[in-house]
Amino acid sequence: MTTRHLLSAAVSLLALAGLSGAAFAGDASFLAGLKRRSTVSTTVPANGDQNPYAVAVSPITSGKLVQGDVLVSNFNNDGNLQGAGGTLVSINPATKSLSLFASVPRTLERCPGGVGLTTAMAVLRSGWVIVGSLPSRDGTTATKGQGCLLVFDHDGNLADVWTDPKIDGPWGNMAVIDKGDSATLFISNAGFGVGAPPKNGAAPVVTKATVVRVPVTIPAGGKPVHGAPVVVADGFGEQADKSVFIIGPTGIALGPNGSIYVSDALGNRVVQIPDALTRTESAGTGVEITRDGFLNRPLALINGPGDTLLTTNGLDGRAVEIDPAAHKQVAAQWIDVDKAQQPPGSGDLFGLALTPDKKGFYYVEDDVNTLVLAH
């Protein structure tokens, strides 16, 4: 048994022994300071949409947006078809109340293939909300559409639909530089060249996934306008999957000197893309920061307190803390110990967002359609 598997087995035994969310971490880590997990709310709106993906905290109060409230996207419809969810919900952490922020029809013609809201979401200080769509007509990649970016105003009204040949299956959580009257979005795309999943066995891995930089200007009194997307990274693996629809680069976080970090799910690693803010050509798959260890198909990736990174695993219920400067994984904590999956929590974790005070984080458990607070 490898060191990686020994570590994984050790943490699994702790979780299965009933040590709720036990941390496998040094005392100085952020994760080690989090002792509780509290259910905030269901994420299911009145129309029955499910499978929560994106998580974002509103930075402002404007229209239906309330500062500190948590927005969550739903990827599945009420029949649990993947790539068919079209609702954004807003959750007040204090009252634990849920309200519908926005809803769009599954067959929205302006979005190639329709609507299935993904983990790609940004809530801007100007009150605009931008969400990715990777749609399907039957819940599989056999009928996958190119998708789009949907732009909502602060009242949840659909204001625009953005499409571009360089955007196909906008998938992972966005990294955002928000200057108020302008913004820069970094978005991963996992749809290029992905076909139907095979009836038996695993689908082939296609190395066509990209990360694009999208400049956005926000004129006074007008809706956002996007510039030409620039491919800053490409060559990541992507794969059709019956259980999770698509596997591909999912998380993006900001790094120093205009760089970004990307979680490469199929590579089981986190990489850095240098000069992502200014480069005009792709850096390929960048520079590896860390791989394997506690990572088990890393998905969401965000900037943690200080200069750390936080990611969630797709193949177990752990969050992992990373020191990117040291190229080191410093902690792992089991935040989902649901024994209905093996390993516990496998396939449950997607979106991730720090609380405004940076003392905890929100995440979703998609198997039970809930927003949870780790604190």
The DSSP H or E segment spanning 281 is: none
pLDDT score of 26: 54
Tell me which DSSP letter residue 82 carries.
B
CA dist 21 and 14 (Å) reads 9
**Mean pLDDT across the stretch 311-327?**
98
pLDDT score of 80: 96
CA dist 244 and 261 (Å) reads 23
Q: Looking at the predicted structure, is the pLDDT value of residue 11 above 90?
A: no
Q: Looking at the predicted structure, is the pLDDT value of residue 236 above 90?
A: yes
Percent of the chain with pLDDT over 90: 88
286: left (phi over 0), alpha (psi -120 to 50) or beta: left
Those residues with Cβ within 8 angstroms of residue 256's Cβ, 6 or more apart along the chain or in another chain: 307
Pick the CATH number of 3-194+203-339+364-374 from 3.40.50.300, 2.40.30.10, 2.120.10.30, 3.40.980.10: 2.120.10.30
CA dist 334 and 355 (Å) reads 19
CA–CA distance from 339 to each of 30, 49, 200 (Å)? 25, 24, 26
Those residues with Cβ within 8 angstroms of residue 173's Cβ, 6 or more apart along the chain or in another chain: 54, 55, 119, 120, 121, 250, 251, 252, 300, 301, 302, 351, 352
Express each pLDDT in 106-155 by its tens digit.
Answer: 999 999 999 999 999 999 999 999 999 999 999 999 999 999 999 999 99
* Tokens of residue 12, six digits: 């699994």
Answer whether 192's CB lies under 8 Å from 210's CB.
yes
Answer whether 170's CB lies under 8 Å from 134's CB.
yes
* Beta bridge pairs of residue 41: 371
pLDDT score of 201: 86
Answer whether 235's CB lies under 8 Å from 207's CB.
yes
pLDDT score of 28: 79
45: left (phi over 0), alpha (psi -120 to 50) or beta: beta
Express each pLDDT in 260-294 by its tens digit.
Answer: 999 999 999 999 999 999 999 999 999 999 999 99
Beta-carbon-side half-sphere exposure of residue 195 (alpha carbons within 13 Å)? 5
Q: Is 7 helix (H, G, I), strand (E, B) or coil?
A: helix
Q: Looking at the predicted structure, is the pLDDT value of residue 91 above 90?
A: yes
Least confident of 169-178, 233-242, 340-349: 340-349
Beta-carbon-side half-sphere exposure of residue 269 (alpha carbons within 13 Å)? 13
Residue 356: pLDDT band (50, 70, 90) is: very high
Q: Looking at the predicted structure, is the pLDDT value of residue 4 above 50?
A: no
Q: Is 15 helix (H, G, I), strand (E, B) or coil?
A: helix
Express each pLDDT in 14-59 by its tens digit.
Answer: 433 333 444 455 557 999 999 999 999 999 999 999 999 999 999 9
pLDDT score of 199: 85
